[in-house]
Structure 1
Amino acid sequence: MSYELTELERNAALRLNADYRYDHFISKVARSGELWALKDENGLLFLKSDNDETCLPVWPHAEYAQLWAVGDQAHYQPQSITLKIWLERWTDGLTQDGIAVTVFPIQGEENLVEEPSELAESLNKKLEQYAQEA
């Protein structure tokens, strides 16, 4: 399911601003059918936004997630989530728990925070677009 990430693509994606990383995330996740979070023996990694909002960070590839897992978070490992399960269960669960999503965050950069339902809507639109192209 996971796609092959070349060094050229990785380096280019890491130079994108938050809005372009969001678009990259949507395209890659819709094509590959999976997204990535970070997990340790106690569960998933959650972050606090600038507005003190609890957020689940997600990435389009395990390598991007691994780049976040440094320093105090080095013990976290990438955890795959299928897009189908994300759309069927995670979106509602995160919404009910009042947890937002940080999409493709990069350390030291401005990162985009999205409501789970809005992220699901963007993913579903991209899936529809790909289905029409097929």
Structure 2
Amino acid sequence: MATHEHPLLAMAPEQRLQETLNLIIQHKEIWILNDEHGCVMLNTDEEEDGVPIWPSSDLAQLWATDEWADCQPLSISLDDWLNKWQPGLTGDDLLVMVCPLPGEEGEVLLPSEFSEKLRR
């Protein structure tokens, strides 16, 4: 685990969602975790599949432990997210898990809802 405390780590999921959106819009990139099989997927509490996303590589890296130790943060441009990922995730019935933290899934949105918030 990284020893430095990121301000997002202390926030409630709703605050983290807003701050994550702000950072993504500011830096025009979204971070996922990737391994040789592709993008890391998580299950929500309702047993639905979701793709966790983060606003920075260091936050994504917090997840790269234990079974995900061989995963690397991967940057996706905001344009690629809106034009390729969002339609792809929607087509695969996947959700977006916004800035989950170890032990907590974060806000879970439909890809279209997440992209709509990014376009505001």
TM-score (norm 1): 0.84
What is residue 48 of structure 2 aligned with on the other side?
53
Which stretch of structure 1 is more off in the superposition, 72-81 or 109-118? 109-118
2:47 and 2:119 map into 1 onto residues whose CA distance is 28
**1:73 aligns to 2:68 (yes or no):** yes
CA RMSD of aligned residues (A): 1.1
Q: SS state of the match for residue 108, structure 1?
A: coil
Aligned match for 1:111, one of 106, 115, 118 = 106
Runs ≥4 in structure 1, deviation > 6 angstroms?
none
* 1:22-61 equivalent positions in 2, closer than 5 A: 22-61=17-56
1:50 and 1:110 map into 2 onto residues whose CA distance is 8
Q: SS state of the match for residue 100, structure 2?
A: coil
Look up the equivalent residue of 1:41 and give its one-letter code: E
Higher-helix-fraction structure: 1
What's the % identity of the aligned pairs?
A: 38
- The CA deviation string for residues 53-100 of structure 1, in whole angstroms up to 9 with x for no partner, is 000000000000000111111110001000011011111110010000
Deviation at 1:108, TM superposition (A): 1.6
1:33 and 1:94 map into 2 onto residues whose CA distance is 19
1:69 and 1:83 map into 2 onto residues whose CA distance is 23
Aligned residues: 117
What is residue 100 of structure 1 aligned with on the other side?
95
**1:13 aligns to 2:8 (yes or no):** yes
Look up the equivalent residue of 1:119 and give its one-letter code: F
2:56 and 2:25 map into 1 onto residues whose CA distance is 12
Q: What are the ranges of 5 or more consecutive residues in structure 2 without an aligned counterpart? A: none
Deviation at 1:112, TM superposition (A): 1.1
Q: SS state of the match for residue 62, structure 2?
A: helix
Q: What are the ranges of 5 or more consecutive residues in structure 1 without an aligned counterpart? A: 1-6, 126-134
